C-alpha cells in the first residue's frame, strides 16, 4: 500500500455567521458547521476524489488542507516530516504554500488579466525566490507544456483574456506547478468548462500523477468523472464523511444509504440497465450547530434507534478499502438493510445539485 502523504484527523471548520449587530441582537454567535469532524488519509501519488451535494463542505475541506482558512479543530499531518499544517504560520506556512496548491473552479475569476501569461505563471517563482531569474523562462515554459499549452513560446507574451476557458484553466494549472508542489487540490476545475475540453484537462491531472508523482484531491459533483480519474473516493454529507474507499467499490457497490442514493441519481447511458432510483426526502436539517447522531438520519429510509448516536467509519470486509459511517454495519447490530423495511414514504426526488 502506498505511503501516506497527509493524515487528517478530527478536522472541523465552523464559520461564524452572525457578526456585529446581528450577533448582539441574538445574544449568541451562530456557526455553520461546514466541516464537522472528518478523518481520512491521502496517499502519496493518488487521486482522491471528494463528492457530495452542494454545501456539504468539499471546498472548505480543500481550503483547510491548503491552509487558506484557519481550522476550528483537528490535525492535518503532512509529508515525511509530519508537520501539522493546522498550526503553521510565518516562514513554515510560506514553505508549506510551496508544497501544496489549490486550483479553483472559475478560471475567469482566479487569473489576473493585467499580467502577461509569463508574468502570471512566473509570479510564485518571484515570491518564493527558489529559482534564479535566468531560469524563470525555462521553468514557466515547461509548466505551460505540462499543462498542455504547446508550444509554450506562443503563449508567454499573450494576455489571459485572449484565451478560452479551457486554456485559462491550463494557465491556472501551470501557475500551480511552477513551485513543484507535492499536493494539489483541484476544486471542480472543469465544471465551468465545455464538455469537449474536460477530457483534455483530466488527462493533464492523470499525467501529473503518473509521471511526476504529484498527489491530487479532486473535488467534483460528477461521480462518472470521478470514477474515471480517481483511485479512491470520499463521499461527504453535511460536513462529515459518509463513506470512503476504492472508487470502484464505492461507486459500484455503495454501502451507505446516502451513497446509494447519489449513485442511483447518476444518469446512465444505457436505459435498459437503468437502476431503480432511490428516492429520499429532500429536507435538510438545520445546518447551524452540530447534528446529534447520524447526520443523515432525517432523510434515511433505514433509520432505526441506534441512529441517534454518531456513527464512526467502519471498514468493510473485502479485498479493497471501503469504510462506511452507518450503524447498519456495526458489528454489534444484527439488522441488515434487508431486514429493515425502507421508509420511502415521501416520494420526493433526491437531487444532487
Ligand atoms: N466563508 C464562509 N462563511 C460562512 N459560511 C460559509 C463560508 N464558506 C462556506 N460556508 C458554508 O459552509 C458550508 C459548506 O460550504 P462549502 O463551500 O465547503 O461546500 P461545497 O461542498 O464546496 O459546496 P459546492 O458543491 O456548492 O461548492 C455551506 O453551508 C456554506 O454556506
Ligand atoms: Mg465547493
> Could you give the CA distance from residue 234 to residue 274 in angstroms, rounded to a whole number?
24
Q: What cell numbers appear for 343 in the block?
A: 421508509
Are the beta carbons of 244 and 233 closer than 8 angstroms? yes
Are the beta carbons of 327 and 311 closer than 8 angstroms? yes
Around ligand 1, the residues with Cβ closer than 6 Å are 15, 17, 32, 34, 54-60, 287
End-to-end CA gap in the chain: 34
CATH of domain 4-230: 3.40.50.300
Rounded to whole angstroms, what are the CA distances from 350 to 107, 170, 302? 30, 34, 15
Rounded to whole angstroms, what are the CA distances from 230 to 8, 236, 307, 314? 19, 16, 31, 21
DSSP 159-189: -GGGS-HHHHHHHHHHHHHTT--SEEEEEST
Cα 90 to middle of ligand 1, angstroms = 27
pLDDT at 109 over 50: yes
Q: What ligand is nearest to the CA atom of residue 236? A: 1
| C-alpha of 182 from chain center | 16
Per-residue model confidence as pLDDT tens digits over 170-200: 999 999 999 999 999 999 999 888 888 889 9
> How many CB atoms sit inside 10 A of residue 318's CB?
11
* Residue labelled with grid coordinates 523562462: 137
In sign, the C-alpha dihedral spanning 27, 32, 36, 41 is negative
Domain chopping of the chain, boundaries: 4-230, 256-339
Can you tell me the mean pLDDT for 305-314? 94
Half-sphere exposure of 227 (CA within 13 A, CB side): 12
Cα 189 to middle of ligand 2, angstroms = 11
pLDDT score for 272:
46
pLDDT at 279 over 70: no
Closest C-alpha to ligand 1, atom 24: 54
Residues with CB under 5 A from ligand 2 (ion): 59
Whole-number CA gyration radius for the chain: 22
Per-residue model confidence as pLDDT tens digits over 28-79: 778 899 999 999 999 999 999 999 999 999 999 999 999 999 999 999 999 9
Cα 205 to middle of ligand 1, angstroms = 25
Q: What ligand is nearest to the CA atom of residue 104? A: 2
* Residue labelled with grid coordinates 478560471: 107
Q: What is the pTM of this model?
A: 0.91
Amino acid at each position: 500500500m502506498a505511503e501516506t502523504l497527509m493524515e487528517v484527523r478530527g478536522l472541523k471548520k465552523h464559520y461564524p455567521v452572525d457578526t456585529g449587530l446581528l450577533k448582539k441582537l441574538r445574544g449568541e454567535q451562530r456557526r455553520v458547521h461546514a466541516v464537522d469532524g472528518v478523518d481520512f488519509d491521502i496517499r502519496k501519488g493518488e487521486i482522491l476524489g471528494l463528492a457530495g451535494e452542494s454545501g456539504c463542505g468539499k471546498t472548505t475541506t480543500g481550503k483547510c488542507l491548503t491552509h487558506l482558512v484557519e481550522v476550528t479543530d483537528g490535525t492535518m499531518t503532512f509529508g515525511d516530516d509530519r508537520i501539522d499544517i493546522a498550526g503553521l504560520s510565518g516562514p513554515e506556512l510560506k514553505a508549506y504554500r510551496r508544497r501544496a496548491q489549490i486550483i479553483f473552479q472559475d478560471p475567469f475569476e482566479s487569473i489576473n488579466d493585467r499580467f502577461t501569461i509569463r508574468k502570471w505563471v512566473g509570479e510564485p517563482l518571484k515570491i518564493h525566490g527558489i529559482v534564479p531569474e535566468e531560469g524563470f523562462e525555462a521553468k514557466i515554459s515547461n509548466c505551460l507544456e505540462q499543462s498542455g499549452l504547446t508550444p509554450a513560446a506562443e503563449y508567454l507574451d499573450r494576455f489571459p483574456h485572449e484565451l478560452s476557458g479551457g486554456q485559462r484553466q491550463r494557465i491556472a494549472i501551470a501557475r500551480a506547478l511552477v513551485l513543484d508542489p507535492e499536493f494539489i487540490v483541484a476544486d471542480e476545475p472543469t465544471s465551468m468548462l465545455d464538455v469537449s475540453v474536460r477530457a483534455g484537462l483530466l488527462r493533464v491531472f492523470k499525467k501529473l500523477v503518473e509521471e511526476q508523482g504529484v498527489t491530487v484531491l479532486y473535488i467534483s459533483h460528477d461521480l462518472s468523472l470521478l470514477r474515471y480519474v480517481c483511485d479512491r473516493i470520499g463521499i461527504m454529507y453535511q460536513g462529515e464523511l459518509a463513506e470512503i474507499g476504492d472508487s470502484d467499490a464505492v461507486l459500484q457497490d455503495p454501502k451507505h444509504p446516502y451513497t446509494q442514493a447519489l449513485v442511483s441519481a447518476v444518469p446512465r447511458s444505457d436505459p435498459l440497465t437503468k437502476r431503480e432510483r432511490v428516492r429520499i426526502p429532500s429536507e435538510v436539517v438545520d445546518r447551524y450547530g452540530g447534528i446529534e447522531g447520524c447526520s443523515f438520519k432525517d432523510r434515511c429510509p433505514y433509520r432505526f434507534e441506534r441512529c441517534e448516536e454518531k456513527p464512526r467509519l467502519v471498514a468493510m470486509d473485502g479485498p479493497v478499502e471501503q469504510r462506511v459511517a452507518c450503524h447498519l454495519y456495526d458489528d454489534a447490530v444484527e439488522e441488515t438493510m434487508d431486514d429493515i423495511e425502507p421508509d420511502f414514504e415521501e416520494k420526493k426526488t433526491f437531487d444532487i445539485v
